[in-house]
Amino acid sequence: MSLIKVTDLSLAYDTGRAVTELNFEVNDGDYLCIVGENGSGKSTLIKGLLGLKKPQGGTIEFSDGLKQTEIGYLPQHSSIQKDFPASVWEVVISGTQNADIGYRPWYTQSQKATAQSWMEVLGIEDMAKKGYGELSGGQQQRVLLARALCATKRLLLLDEPVAGLDPLVTQDMYAILRTLNHEKGLSIVMISHDIQSAVQEASHILHLHNTMLFFGSTAHYVSCSVGRRYLGGEQQ
């Protein structure tokens, strides 16, 4: 079943159009990688999917049962997040507020249990009391992933989750995402500049260049001209 269906979508800023004429679907269990050069509209599209940016044209439809507020989101890294003055526990559990109806100044037992269990899955439960700003980049990304997981049971949107991570930590992150996709049945939409890993990990590829250069299965992408060119000919 289709979780998200995007039809003729355009998103724009005052300064001009960011992305136009997008047509694609995300189905239950998909692992979609969004690739493309800097400034090609990837983060803007994610903001559109989250409802943070209104379409200038076209539509974004969600399947029944999936609310926009029940999507787990890991934003593109910024220096502000790196010094965020909160403990690991506070950052992770704040993800549960997303799925809740309205804001409450306390957390329920079930929200606490959700945060605790995702921290255990990601192996960060021992860091609960540490300041988020004291962690390494790889640890911070795990914390942000745990936060995103607290917000959803079905769909994760990840904006460059491995940017700036060393190769080993990057492989750990991919292994975690693979498990979440294969074993926990979560659908994943991930922006990445790591094209080689994208074609290894993802089931589908969306290649943007302010418009859509390609959308389809990874197997099709690696054999089509757009994909072969972007992959530097290595998969020919």
Ligand X SMILES: Nc1ncnc2c1ncn2[C@@H]1O[C@H](COP(=O)(O)OP(=O)(O)OP(=O)(O)O)[C@@H](O)[C@H]1O
Give how far Cα 137 sits from Cα of 98, 133, 168, 177, Å: 24, 9, 13, 17
Q: Where are the alpha helices (DSSP H) in the chain?
A: 42-50, 79-82, 88-94, 109-121, 137-150, 167-182, 195-201, 218-223, 225-230
Judged by beta carbon distances under 5 to 8 A according to partner kind, the member of Mg ion, ligand X, none in contact with residue 41 is ligand X
Question: Does residue number 20 form part of the binding site for Mg ion (CB under 5 A)?
Answer: no
Instruction: Quote the CA–CA distance of 34 and 45 in Å, as a whole number.
Output: 10
Question: What phi and psi values does residue 192 have, to the nearest 5 degrees?
Answer: -150, 145
- The residue with tokens 């990601």 is 122
Q: Which of residues 16-35 bind ligand X (CB under 6 A)?
A: 18
Minimum distance of Mg ion from residue 159's CB (angstroms)? 6
In our burial notation (b when 16+ CB lie closer than 10 A, e otherwise), range 145-168 reads bbbbbbbbebbbbbbbbbeebeee
Binding mask 73-92 for ligand X (x = CB under 6 A): ---x----------------
Question: Does residue number 43 form part of the binding site for ligand X (CB under 6 A)?
Answer: yes
Binding segment for Mg ion among 40-48, 81-89, 101-109, 135-143 (CB under 5 A)?
A: 40-48
Q: Which of residues 102-161 bind Mg ion (CB under 5 A)?
A: none
Question: Does residue number 44 form part of the binding site for ligand X (CB under 6 A)?
Answer: yes
Minimum distance of Mg ion from residue 196's CB (angstroms)? 19
Residues that bind ligand X (CB under 6 A): 13, 15, 18, 36, 38-44, 76
Residues that bind Mg ion (CB under 5 A): 43, 76
